Amino acid sequence: MNVLIVYAHPNPRSFNAAMREAAVDTLTEAGHAVQVSDLYAMHFKATLDEHDFKERQNPNFFDPTNEQYHAAMRGSFADDIAKEIEKVDWANLVIFQFPLWWQSFPAILKGWCDRVLANGIAVNFATYDPLLSGKKALLAFTTGGGAAMYAPDGPVGDINVLLTFARNMFRTAGIEVLPPFVAYGVRSLSSDEREVELQRYRERLLSL
């Protein structure tokens, strides 16, 4: 299996970083091929704008959706986007590894989705035909609060409802979304508790 880990955390000593390292080691040892897109280390640009295209369909009026399709047909995306599209094309499974910030992706990860899961690459927005069918996605992330905060009656709300935005995005592209892996309340975990969570993650990865 070819696995792409799209990793979005600014601290290389974070628990997210430990999860990323555990995933690389576990999957590699199991015989899978792994690539990592470390978005912060790459200084990946989060904003979709006119600089995303080497040539423009319409240089006088910027329509991102039309420009993306034009670039998809001509292979004229900016180099950073083109490299990520190649990785997505290569991957059978994409793991999105991130901390949950304000009940959503960090901005840099949302920017990756905006720029890489482009019209003509992930979906044809003229027909809504999915273009990434056969691929799978796993959301593997951490929260600051404990599990009770993300229960249906918790102060933040049901974690499954919060994740609807991501499931809908990937499913529109034809990607099968696997049940998420969530490490709750990581900031308050002891060293032993962190190792328990990492082992739980390793076991989940092997079960894929």
Tokens of 105: 């992706």
Tell me which residue range forms the domain holding 57.
2-207
Amino acid at 154: G
Residue 186's pLDDT is 87
- What gap in Å lies between CA 177 and CA 163, rounded to an integer? 11
Strands 129-130 and 123-124 come out as antiparallel
Residue 159's pLDDT is 85
Mean pLDDT per block of 10 residues along the chain (208 residues) reads: 98 95 98 98 97 95 96 97 98 97 94 97 95 97 88 84 88 95 90 93 95
| DSSP letter string, the chain | -EEEEEE--S-TTSHHHHHHHHHHHHHHHTT-EEEEEEHHHHT------GGGBSS-S-TTS--HHHHHHHHHHHT-B-HHHHHHHHHHHH-SEEEEEEE-BTTB--HHHHHHHHHHS-BTTTEETTTTEES-TT-EEEEEEE-SS-GGGGSTTSSS--HHHHTHHHHHHHHHTTPEEPPPEEETTGGG--HHHHHHHHHHHHHHHHH-
Residue 17's pLDDT is 96
Residue 147's pLDDT is 85
Sort 190 into a burial class: Cβ within 10 Å, 0-12 / 13-18 / 19+: exposed
Nearest 5°: the CA angle 156, 164, 33 is 110
Residue 89 sits in a domain whose CATH number is 3.40.50.360
Number of domains in the chain: 1
Instruction: Kindly give, in sequence order, each residue whose CB lies less than 8 Å from that of residue 118, ignoring residues fewer than 6 positions away.
Output: 68, 69, 71, 72, 77, 81, 85
Residue 161's pLDDT is 82
Residue 55's pLDDT is 94
